[in-house]
């Protein structure tokens, strides 16, 4: 059975809403998603939650690479040995 929900109405300046919508969108969240996440963290932690930030360029590139790999359902390595060899090689850089 689905949980009962309630409507939450808040007032915020138009420019803050616009800027927040853009920043949250960059994180893959809607304003409603962010409010639900915020309230859930308050309940779970019984504290004011930490701030989410827009990922930097390197993190965004890694996220896009991951999404592309998942969409293509392909792997970069043919075996676990290839993966570990690549990790070993790149850990010395």
Hey, what are 36's tokens? Answer: 């639900």
Q: What would the pLDDT profile of 33-67 be if each residue is shown by its tens digit?
A: 999 999 999 999 998 887 778 889 998 899 888 88
Contact 63, 57 (CB under 8 A): no
In a domain, 7, yes or no: no
Q: Which domain holds residue 33?
A: 14-91
In a domain, 25, yes or no: yes
User: What does pTM read for this prediction?
Assistant: 0.52
Distance CA 31, CA 81 (A): 43
Whether the predicted pLDDT of 81 surpasses 80: yes
Compute the average pLDDT of residues 76-81: 82
CATH number assigned to the domain comprising residue 74: 1.10.1220
Compute the average pLDDT of residues 61-85: 82
């Amino acid at each position: 059975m689905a949980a009962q929900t309630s409507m939450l109405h808040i007032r915020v300046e138009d420019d803050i809403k616009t800027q927040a919508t853009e920043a949250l969108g960059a994180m893959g969240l809607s304003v409603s998603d962010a409010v639900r996440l915020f309230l859930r963290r308050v309940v779970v932690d019984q504290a004011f939650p930490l701030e989410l930030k827009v990922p930097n360029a390197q993190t965004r590139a890694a996220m896009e690479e991951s999404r592309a790999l998942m969409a293509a359902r392909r792997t970069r390595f043919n075996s676990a040995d290839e993966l570990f060899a690549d990790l070993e090689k790149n850990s010395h850089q």
